[in-house]
């Protein structure tokens, strides 16, 4: 939901009226409020960025462990 619409609900406009004006269900408003109530757009993007970074780091770690395993096999070391 656009921030301006969300602000109307925070300002005291009835959720049912807000939903009717903008063409969505009142339950959608409550869902949006529960999901990201009070967060600015930048704050909402941050968890997604962290999730992507976490995935990248996990892949790097897995690659490093594979390389270590290959070196151990190559030099005949036991696990």
pLDDT, averaged per 10 consecutive residues of the chain (79 residues), comes to 59 80 84 72 81 96 94 78
User: How high is the pLDDT of residue 3?
Assistant: 55
Sign of CA dihedral 62, 67, 72, 74: positive
pTM of the model as a whole: 0.44
CB 79 within 8 A of CB 72: yes
User: How high is the pLDDT of residue 74?
Assistant: 86
Q: Where are the domains of the chain?
A: 1-38, 40-79
Burial of 57: CB neighbours in 10 Å, binned 0-12, 13-18, 19+: exposed
User: How high is the pLDDT of residue 47?
Assistant: 84
Please state, in angstroms and rounded to a whole number, the distance separating the CA atoms of residues 9 and 42: 20
User: How high is the pLDDT of residue 59?
Assistant: 97
């Amino acid at each position: 939901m656009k921030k301006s619409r969300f602000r109307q609900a925070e300002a005291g406009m009835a959720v049912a009226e807000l939903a009717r004006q903008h063409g969505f269900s009142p339950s959608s408003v409550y869902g949006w409020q529960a999901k990201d109530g009070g967060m600015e757009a930048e704050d909402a993007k941050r968890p997604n960025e962290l999730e992507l970074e976490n995935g990248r780091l996990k892949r790097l770690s897995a690659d490093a462990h594979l390389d270590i395993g290959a070196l151990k096999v190559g030099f005949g070391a036991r696990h």
